[in-house]
Amino acid sequence: MNDAHRPVILYVENDANDVILLRITFEKIDFPAQIIPVPDGEKAQAYLDGLGAFEDRHQYPRPDLVLMDLKMPRVSGFEVTRWIRAHPALDALPIVILTSSEHPEDRAAALAAGANGFCIKPVGLDELEGLVREISQQWLHLVPHG
Amino acid sequence: MATMFSIEWRGFVEFGLLLLYVLLGGFTVVFFFKKSRQAKGRLRVMESELASLKQEVANSRMLEAEFRRKQVEDRAFFYDNPYPMWVFEEQGFKFMAVNDAALHHYGYSREEFLEMTILDIGPPEESPTTLDFRQWLQDETVATRVCRQHKKDGTLMDVKMTAHKLNFQGNPAWLILALDVTAEYRARQALLRQKERFQLLSESAADLLFALEPPAVIEKICLKITAHTQSDLFLNFLSQDGENKVMLHSWAGLPEELARRLTQHPLPIDELLCHAAVCQCQPLIIEDMQSYPDPKAESLRNLGIRAYICLPLHPNGRLLGTLAFGSRTQKAFGEDELELFSSLSRYLAIALDRWHLLKEAREQSAQLQTAQEQLQRYTGELEVRVAERTAKLAQSLRSLEGVLYHVAHDLRAPLRALHGFTELLIRNCSPLPTEATADYARRLTEASKRMDRLIHDLLLYGRLGHQQLVLDSIDLGNILNDVLHEWRATIQAKKAIIQVSQPLPRVTGDGQVIRQVLYNLLSNALKFVARPPAIRVWAEAGYPTRLYMEDNGIGIAAEHQNKIFGIFERLHSEEEFPGTGIGLAIVKKGMERMGGNVKVESEVGRGSRFCLEFNSAY
């Protein structure tokens, strides 16, 4: 157990590149958040339930924020969102959709499914940095040092 | 009349009287002679009496002569009467007296006549019975009756008898005046026949002309005609459509086997008996078929037909059939009958012709209707197909959009990686060894950024094509403020001056689309400019409502002003002014989808004025 609780972000994303870029960006802004990636919706559900490999809550702690991609094979981001919201123990868990889709219908559908936020993945590290700062401020109440 | 019979009787009486007178006179003379001495004086009396007696004798002689004369007259009246007269006794109908005219007319002698009864001169087949005759005579004192009688040589006559009851030689008897009315009777019969024929013809004509299907009434009419003309056979052939053949349609007087054969197998015209006549459009009239040499007539000869006529039915030169009549009892048809057949065949021809024409017209009308129905069906099918195609097209467009969406989505992921890792690479390798390397790095990042923008704009343009518009009453001022806010960084960086003539009017349209349109226009106004941008925005309310955005940019040459709204149309290179070439295409498409339009007025070096027209009908 850590004294200072590091915020845990569960990043549900099937694209490995996006995961790396996000991690690097978080490191660059020197936020203490711990990024735990899961590659698809089923694994996300298993993680949140603490099933199978994810039983070890020490290694796999409960997240403070879920960043969710929409377009994933088999189980989509919408479904996971709905599932989380229907989950009795998880209803307070903030979910921010992080997708490359600029379809206004997707934004409306995601928010209707129960997501708290909807962000579009930008091209460019600077833009990504700005987005990450915004998300951390809003949902993790992290204030950047300097 | 009674006096005539008393003539002979009176003769005897008179003679008796005369004798008596003479005898009386004689006795008187003898008496007076015996008494002559006594009555000389009585001589004169006797002489005067004798004179008066002589006078009386003379008188009676005159009377006798009168009687005789009357007798002769009366005798002439009966015996010399030009009309046959006779007396027959009531009891046994035996002739008692017959006049010369009767002898002459009937051909019997007086002796023969006086041996016969009135029944003997009746027609052989139709002898009136005694009872019947007696009844006739009992009806009235003077009675008239017409009956058939025959002469000695067998000639039949129609006789009108007038009878009068009297007493003859002490017996009740009848006096008959017989009037030969054969001629009048025959004339009246002929007239009746004429009337009958006329009625038959006009009825047949009416039946034929009013019948919806003339062939259906032919049999009925021909049977009537056959009965009237005392024919034994009629044949009606009708032609088969389009071929040179005929088939038996209705008939009477044929044996069943022959009729069956003829009604089942069409006959070529040249096998008909009346073939030659048909070709000449003339009727074929045969007197005594039995001696007609043509072999085609064999079957008719075998039926015993003698008189025969065949009439071709050929209105307007087209052969529609034939009509034939035959008789076993008559050797040849009379003129009246031939005329009757002829008229009938004319009516039949006309009726058939009209029927055929009506049939053709109806067929054509039915064909027309079928064609119309087919056309309607095809039109309906076509509409269905068009709807299907349209639906398919819409569907494929949607799926295309889906493809576009997914493609764009999937394209952007590697793009992000490309861009991101390039940047990381640059950072990790910084400072970069050479100018050139730095340049290459810069170009890499720029290229991927540009690609992302392109994909983004493409997606936008594609969506604009067929997305469902959300129409609302939009405050242009609000939207513009939002857009200006989005561009605030650039506006500030470029030190741009934006002048907006408030208040801007409300329009009906899709808020998102209007936002995109204004965003793009502003983007251009801030981009295509060689000095600090000065942008003016104002509007004209009305029908339509117009929004103007004027800039102080580089302007657009006249020949390019249409092109710039085309997709991917760029007037400048990426180095001069970055852009995707889709911005104005999006503006145009967006305005058009809302029922409006975009126009530009521009001059190179003098800036451009864009005008957005909003359709008030929306």
Nearest to B413 among A15, A24, A128 (CB): A15
Q: B468 to chain A: nearest residue by CA?
A: A105
Separation between Cα atoms, residue A135 and residue B515, nearest integer Å: 26
Q: Tokens 């339009």 sit at which residue? A: B597
pTM: 0.47
Q: Does A59 touch chain B (CB under 8 A)?
A: no
pLDDT at residue number B74: 79
Residue A125: list chain B partners with CB under 8 A: 419-420, 423-424
B93 and B108 Cβ atoms separated by less than 8 Å: no
pLDDT at residue number B356: 86
Checking if the pLDDT of B5 tops 60, the result is no
Cβ within 8 Å, pair A21-B416 = yes
Structure letter (DSSP) for residue B169: T
Nearest to A102 among B414, B420, B456 (CB): B456
Sign of CA pseudo-dihedral A133, A135, A137, A140: negative
Give mean pLDDT, residues A29-45.
Answer: 89
Residue B416: list chain A partners with CB under 8 A: 17-18, 21, 100, 121-123
Please, what is the average pLDDT of chain B? 85
Q: Tokens 């094509």 sit at which residue? A: B465
A3 pLDDT band, cuts 50/70/90, is: very low
Sign of CA pseudo-dihedral B343, B347, B349, B350: positive
Q: Residue B152, SS3?
A: coil
Lowest mean pLDDT of B134-143, B334-343, B368-377, name the range: B134-143
B587 and B569 Cβ atoms separated by less than 8 Å: no
Q: What is the DSSP string of chain A?
A: --SSPPPEEEEE-S-HHHHHHHHHHHHHTT--PEEEEESSHHHHHHHHHT-GGGG-TTTSPPPSEEEE-S--SSS-HHHHHHHHHH-TTTTT--EEEEES---HHHHHHHHHHT-SEEEEPPSSHHHHHHHHHHHIIIII------
Q: Does A76 touch chain B (CB under 8 A)?
A: no
Checking if the pLDDT of B126 tops 70, the result is no
Neighbours of B201 (CB within 10 A): 18
Neighbours of A129 (CB within 10 A): 16
pLDDT at residue number B129: 58
**How close, in Å, is residue A20 to chain B by CA atoms?**
9
Checking if the pLDDT of B618 tops 60, the result is no
Cβ within 8 Å, pair A21-B420 = yes
CA angle B300, B303, B304 (to 5 degrees): 100
B347 and B274 Cβ atoms separated by less than 8 Å: no
pLDDT at residue number B140: 61
For A21-33, b/e burial (b = at least 16 CB within 10 A) is bbebbbeebebeb
Q: Does A105 touch chain B (CB under 8 A)?
A: no
Give mean pLDDT, residues A74-87.
Answer: 90
Neighbours of B527 (CB within 10 A): 18
Tens of pLDDT, residues B449-483? 888 888 888 888 888 877 888 888 999 999 999 99
Cβ within 8 Å, pair B416-A104 = no
**How close, in Å, is residue A15 to chain B by CA atoms?**
8
Beta bridge partner(s), residue B613: B546, B597
Amino acid (1-letter code) at residue B202: S
Q: Does B419 touch chain A (CB under 8 A)?
A: yes
Tokens of B495: 């030190």
Q: Tokens 């069906």 sit at which residue? A: B377
**How close, in Å, is residue B369 to chain A by CA atoms?**
53
Q: Does B442 touch chain A (CB under 8 A)?
A: no
Nearest to B449 among A102, A123, A128 (CB): A123
Checking if the pLDDT of A1 tops 60, the result is no
Task: Please compute, for residue B497, the number of CA atoms within 13 A of its CA located in the half-sphere on the CB side.
Answer: 4
Nearest to A100 among B409, B423, B460 (CB): B409
Tens of pLDDT, residues B387-441? 988 888 878 777 776 777 777 778 888 888 988 898 888 888 878 778 888 888 8
CA angle B7, B13, B16 (to 5 degrees): 145
B6 pLDDT band, cuts 50/70/90, is: low
Tokens of B273: 């008996």
Query: What secondary structure, in 3-state letters, does B45-73 show?
Result: HHHHHHHHHHHHHHHHHHHHHHHHHHHHH
**How close, in Å, is residue A81 to chain B by CA atoms?**
20
Q: Does B162 touch chain A (CB under 8 A)?
A: no
Q: Does A140 touch chain B (CB under 8 A)?
A: no
Give mean pLDDT, residues A58-75.
Answer: 89
Beta bridge partner(s), residue B473: B508
**How close, in Å, is residue B460 to chain A by CA atoms?**
9
Structure letter (DSSP) for residue B512: H
Separation between Cα atoms, residue B416 and residue A92, nearest integer Å: 31
Q: Does A123 touch chain B (CB under 8 A)?
A: yes
Tokens of B83: 């009309």
Instruction: Order the strands of the B545-550 sheet from edge to edge.
Output: B497-500, B534-540, B545-550, B607-614, B597-603
Tens of pLDDT, residues B523-581? 999 999 989 999 999 999 888 899 999 999 999 988 888 889 988 778 887 778 888 88
Cβ within 8 Å, pair A102-B405 = no
Give mean pLDDT, residues B269-295.
Answer: 80
Q: A128 to chain B: nearest residue by CA?
A: B420
Tens of pLDDT, residues A114-126? 999 999 998 888 9
**What percentage of residues in chain A have a pLDDT greater than 90?**
45
Question: What was the ipTM of the complex prediction?
Answer: 0.82
Cβ within 8 Å, pair B412-A123 = yes
CA angle B105, B111, B117 (to 5 degrees): 75
**How close, in Å, is residue B542 to chain A by CA atoms?**
32
**How close, in Å, is residue A122 to chain B by CA atoms?**
7
Between chain A and chain B, the number of residue pairs with CB atoms below 8 A apart is 52
Separation between Cα atoms, residue B21 and residue B35, nearest integer Å: 21
Strands B597-603 and B545-550: unpaired
Rounded to a whole number, what is the largest CA-CA distance in chain A?
43
Checking if the pLDDT of B121 tops 60, the result is yes
Nearest to B415 among A71, A123, A125 (CB): A123
Burial of residue B485 (number of CB atoms within 10 Å: 0-12, 13-18, 19+): exposed
B221 and B249 Cβ atoms separated by less than 8 Å: no
pLDDT at residue number A143: 54
Nearest to B459 among A102, A122, A128 (CB): A102
Q: Residue B220, SS3?
A: helix
Which residues fall within 8 angstroms of residue B314, CB to CB, at 6 or more apart? B278, B281, B320, B349
Q: Which tops the pLDDT comparison, B23 or B241?
A: B23
pLDDT at residue number B169: 80
Neighbours of B267 (CB within 10 A): 15
Q: Which of A1-5, A138-142, B133-137, B375-379 has the highest mean pLDDT?
A: B375-379
Cβ within 8 Å, pair A123-B409 = no
**What percentage of residues in chain B have a pLDDT greater than 70?**
94
* Cis peptide bond N-terminal to B533, omega within 30: no
Separation between Cα atoms, residue A110 and residue A79, nearest integer Å: 10
Tens of pLDDT, residues B364-386? 999 999 999 999 999 999 999 99
Give mean pLDDT, residues B121-147.
Answer: 66
Q: A22 to chain B: nearest residue by CA?
A: B420
Amino acid (1-letter code) at residue B599: K
Cβ within 8 Å, pair B415-A15 = no
pLDDT at residue number B332: 86
B309 and B285 Cβ atoms separated by less than 8 Å: yes
Cβ within 8 Å, pair A121-B412 = yes
Cβ within 8 Å, pair B423-A71 = no
pLDDT at residue number B3: 54
CA dihedral A59, A63, A69, A75 (to 10 degrees): 70
pLDDT at residue number B280: 79
Nearest to A18 among B416, B424, B445 (CB): B416
Separation between Cα atoms, residue B544 and residue A82, nearest integer Å: 46
Tens of pLDDT, residues B149-168? 888 887 888 888 888 888 88
Tokens of B286: 């045969």
pLDDT at residue number A2: 42
Amino acid (1-letter code) at residue B600: V
B204 pLDDT band, cuts 50/70/90, is: confident
